[in-house]
A and B are shown apart, each in its own frame.
Chain A
Amino acid sequence: MESDYTYTEAELIQGLKARNQRIFNYLYDHYSPALYGVALKILNNENAAGDTLQEVFLKIWRNIDNYNQGKGRLFTWMLNITRNTAIDMLRSKSHKFDQKIQNVGDDVHLYTGHLTVYQSTDHLGLSKVLEKLNTEQRIIIDLAYYKGCTQDEIASILKIPLGTVKTRMRLAMIRLRNLLKTL
């Protein structure tokens, strides 16, 4: 019974505001893998990521009236909800900065080992990008975007001067963006 019909973003927003469950179903099918990937990356734990995903979609369903189209696209809004929810969960669990470093340490270990523990839905595209982005660049982007670290925290985790963080981040993003263009 799956239909191939693609809803526009405006239709999705309108449908959600009208509390249309069919639209919610569609939204889940189309966006849950991306959002689950984010939660999993932040939390490194399938159960916690699953709980987060559920909470995120309930927030989307309940708070769609707070979404302001003038401030950004729907996907950006949903991503921000996901990052905030997952980071909150991460911090509430760890409480301490130490724990966060520990988590990051685990990540660094992940980076040096297998490409990724979980199979992404676009494994080929991802490998292509990750192959050419060096570990240091991946880590700095991930610490900022996924782990929500501040510049100070990144400087302390990577043991680099604060002034270097900005430059490195910029270079990493330029490299990432150029790589994405080759896909």
Chain B
Amino acid sequence: MSVERFISSGIIELYVTGMASAEEAKELEAAMADYPELKKEVESCRRDMEQYVRLQAIAPPPAIKEHLLRMVADETSKCEKE
């Protein structure tokens, strides 16, 4: 399939949103390796999707961070002792 055909087929959008079948994903990934412009198209779609994700950012409860940092610190000191 040509780059143009890939772009107009809508497969990029399916791929980025995780809706492409394993077969479709494999086909697109193989083509991306051959055509840098196709890879760029996919990356551009992905960046837009990620912008949409960022728009929906919500601050998590502060307690999560405290707990997490403590766990990471404990893990690290344990590793150092070993």
Most chain A CB atoms below 10 A, which of B60, B61, B76: B60
Question: Given the complex, which residues of B lie within 8 Å of A165, measured CB to CB?
Answer: 19
Q: Is the CB of A180 within 8 A of B51?
A: yes
Question: Given the complex, which residues of A lie within 8 Å of B58, measured CB to CB?
Answer: 33, 36-37, 40, 118-121
Please report the total number of B residues contacting A with Cβ < 8 Å: 35
In the complex, given contacts A19-B79, A28-B69, A53-B60, what are 5 additional A-B residue pairs having Cβ atoms less than 8 angstroms apart?
Answer: A21-B69, A34-B56, A37-B58, A83-B18, A129-B52
Q: Which of A54, A144, A174 interacts with B17 by CB under 8 Å?
A: A144
Question: Given the complex, which residues of B lie within 8 Å of A83, measured CB to CB?
Answer: 18
Q: What does the 1/0 interface line of B46-62 toward A look like (CB < 8 Å)?
A: 10111111111111110
Interface of chain A residues 96 through 139 with chain B (CB within 8 A): 116, 118-122, 125-126, 129
Give the interface SS of chain B, mostly helix, strand, loop or mixed.
helix
The residue in chain A whose Cβ has the minimal distance to the Cβ of B46 is A76
Q: How many A-B residue pairs have CB under 8 A?
A: 120
Q: Is the CB of B17 within 8 A of A145?
A: yes
- Could you list 22 A-B pairs, sorted by A, with CB under 8 Å? A24-B69, A32-B60, A33-B59, A36-B58, A37-B53, A38-B56, A46-B61, A54-B64, A61-B75, A76-B46, A79-B50, A116-B56, A120-B58, A125-B55, A126-B56, A129-B55, A144-B14, A151-B19, A166-B14, A167-B10, A180-B51, A180-B52
Q: Is the CB of A121 within 8 A of B14?
A: no
- Does chain B have a CB within 8 A of A69? no
The CA-CA distance from A83 to B73 in the complex, in Å, is 26
Q: Is the CB of B50 within 8 A of A54?
A: no
A161 → chain B closest CB, angstroms:
15
Q: Which of B13, B21, B60, B72 interacts with A151 by CB under 8 Å?
A: B21
Q: Is the CB of B67 within 8 A of A54?
A: yes
The CA-CA distance from A53 to B60 in the complex, in Å, is 9
- Does chain A have a CB within 8 A of B71? yes
